[in-house]
Structures are given as structure tokens and as C-alpha cells.
Chain A
């Protein structure tokens, strides 16, 4: 092997190893490449509504979507429900939809709860927690603010109030 070839071979091998290192480090930092992050496209799904037919996220393209994951057992979810309903009413005509995804409860449990707060935005039933897993939901309430193009603009974990909803919704109105 002459000198020139030698250097090429060495550069090639070391380069490959460097790529391996970068890849190894990258995958040790990014534990879950499929996680839904701010800036990524919200994965489409289709779920049965509490009242009515199935609803798919893609059906809502062109509207700003507030995707709220909740359960009746969760106190902060309960506390933010009136605020969500109120803002839904305010922005409904400007092209906003609030979608509540209930995590694994039966309609019998959900209905009185919904009626209690006079909720009329769509409530979806994630009976097998499939969408909850798809969106990697940890603590609830967790709310995704999705633009009319279907991009996740913000993710908020915890209880929202009206002012917070208003300021975040401004960013996703069509």
C-alpha cells in the first residue's frame, strides 16, 4: 500500500467510526424519536365521539385545534373545563375547535361530568388509551395547541386559565 492510499484508507475508516460515534451519541440523547414535539406534525387519529360519529384530527385541518387530554378523576382537568368551554365559545366562529380526549372512561361516568359544566365541544373517547400513548401523555391535563396546518405550536402540561388559553390560541387561529 503506498502512502497516498494509506491516508485515504485511514481517513475512510476513522470517518466511519466518527459517524458511528455521532449516531451512538444521538440515539443515547434522543430516547424516543417518535415523541410528539413542538414543531412536529400532530399525528392523525380517529376516535369515537361521546355524542355522535367518529372524528379524525385530519378532518379539522384548516382550523386551530386545542387538543386537551383529560379524565374525570383529575382535579386540575375539572378546574380548567369551564375556561376551555368559555374560550371555545369566544373563538368558535374564528375557526377554533377545542377537542377533549377522555382517557379510558365509560360514557356513564363522563356524561354527568360534561353536563355539569355545560360542555359542548367535541369529547372523544380514547377507551383503550391508544391516542394517549401515541401522544406520550404523562401527567394530565396536557394540552396541545395545533395550527390549521396540523403543526404542534405548543404543549402545555398542567391547569390552564382563560388568559393563558387566549394568548396561546391567538397563535393558532387561521
Chain B
């Protein structure tokens, strides 16, 4: 059996374990108040089961990383699938470290579902092991990308704790600006869930829409070849200057503006629209079921947790993640950029966004250390910070073309 298949299986095993762990974590939290139970005992018992599931999942994913590294001959960080899976690996790793320090079960109930979403997101991308193109053939690929991912993973735990702090502390009796924004954050998370669900469903149904661009592309050898764009999801937006070759489940409503760069830009826009729609539908459905704000529905499960501790965990994660991120996403990136392109900084969009993330967390730290922004303000910033990271990882590849656009959906 080829090694890459083993690695695929190991990743699937890890995925299933993360899902199970998430479920058990949620049971640990919500089941506290079930009749006939000692809440403390319940939480400890189920929390421990969930934690060990996460640990085994993590070991399986470690196996995936190792086998894929051997099979491919390079660290599994060379395309979008590998990067997202690796980021997920780092999030789980960061969680395990933070758990060892603070032993707070409920953190898992937030981080593990985040891990599941990230891993599911990686499954959306093509999974084949591709050989390294010349520009990626450098040991800095391993060093830069893995360190940057680790930094982002630790910051993600800071986000999970920050979000938890907000759900825990924002009063849900009356509607305020805070409750509204919190619902928006949750809705955005659901958009990601919706997108993943849509993408995997339609990929299985094989209902592709295919467009042909009127402008042919030129291959490296100088021949013109017709350019095709394939949509997995039903087409709402058609690419500019294209004709439909194969009809999908629906005909497009409108055409993407021409300024969107690259042949895949319209497909990305289409994906984005579907994500928003499915997220809104999911959110609406949940609101109908609970008949209250989502945060209000979650809040009772968090009862009895010390908000200060959650605040500190969020801050601790960020203060550990910040140096790692700086090292991986900026300093190592600059060294590699110098080796590859001869300039350590070139204001490429991806570089700029890494800088934005760094500036944002710098502002966070100054506000917290020097201006006493702790608690809710700090938690909001940790949430915004993670949103900026996601923009850097996803939107920059999606909308803005640059030197880093080697992969993307």
C-alpha cells in the first residue's frame, strides 16, 4: 500500500477523533445540569474522555504529518490543503499545551470544534501530493511555513478563549451592541461551516458547471490553450468573458466584474456568496430551534467558570503565539524572501497582511499592558485578530493575486 494512502487514512482517523472529542466536550459542558448528576463529576469524567480522544487524534495526525513528509519528500506545507491541515495540527498542539498548563476542560469545547472546522476546510482543497516547484525548493519552506502555522495555531487558541470569555460574560438579558456583534461573529463561524458542508456535498454529487474563457492562456512553451474554469458549487456568478461549456444545476445570475484578477476569481466569488447564504441559513435555523440568541443558548453551559482565568488563558496564548508568529511569519519569511527573490521585503500583499496581523497584535499587547485593556476589550481584540489571520490566509489568496498565490480555492 502506498505511503500517501496511509497518511490519508491517518488524517481521516484524526478527523473522526476530533469530531468525537468535540461532541464529548460539548456533552461535558451541556450535560452538567442533566438530572441526577453531580455537575463537577460529570464535567471531569467527560472532559477527560474528550481530552484523551483529542490526544489520540493528535497522535494520528502526527503520523499523517510524518508519513506524508516521507511520501512527498518535503514537509506537508506546500499547498493549501497541506497548509490548512498543518494549521489545524498546530491549533490542536497549542490546545494540548495550554490544557497541560490550565487543565480547563471547557477550552476544549471551543478549540476542538474550531480544529474540526479547519481540518474540514482543508479537505475542500485538492489532496494530491504534488512535487515541489522550484520556488518552493528551499529548507525555508519547512522552517518558515511550519513556524508561521504554529504561531497562528497558538493565536487561534487565544481567539477560542477570547470568544468563550465574551459568551461567558456578555449579559444576554437585553440586546446590546455587544450581543449583536457576538452573534455576527458566531454567524461568520457558521458561514465557514456552511461553506464546507456545501463544498463537500456538491463535490460528491459531481454537479460541475464548466466555463470556457474567451481569452486562451499561454503555456510556458508558448502555445495557446483554452482556459477552463470548473465550479463545484452551482453557479451564481459567471466569470467575465466566458461561455458555458457544461450546464450545472442552475444557470448563473450575473457575471463577475472584470477587475477580479485571475481566471479563478469568479469561482472564488461564487464560493463566497454560497458561504454567506449557507451561513445565514444555518444561523437562522439555529435561532429558530433555540428561540434565543446563540450566545444566550451557549452561556448556561459555561456557568461557574472563572472569567478571569479564561481572560488570562487568552492573553497567555497570545503572548506565547506572538513571538512565534513574528519569528515564523515575518523574520523567517524575510530571510527566505532574501534567498529567493533578493529582497527581504517587497510589500507583496501576503507580506503586508502578515505585517498587519503583527501590528494588530502589537497594538493588542500595548493596549493590554500599557492601557489596561483587559477582559471584554481584550477578548474582542483576540477575536478580531483571528479574523485578520483568516483574511491573511484565505481572502488574500482568494481576492488578491500576489507572489504567494501558489494555491487557493
Q: Do chains A and B touch in the complex (CB under 8 A)?
A: no
Binding site for B on A (CB under 8 A): none
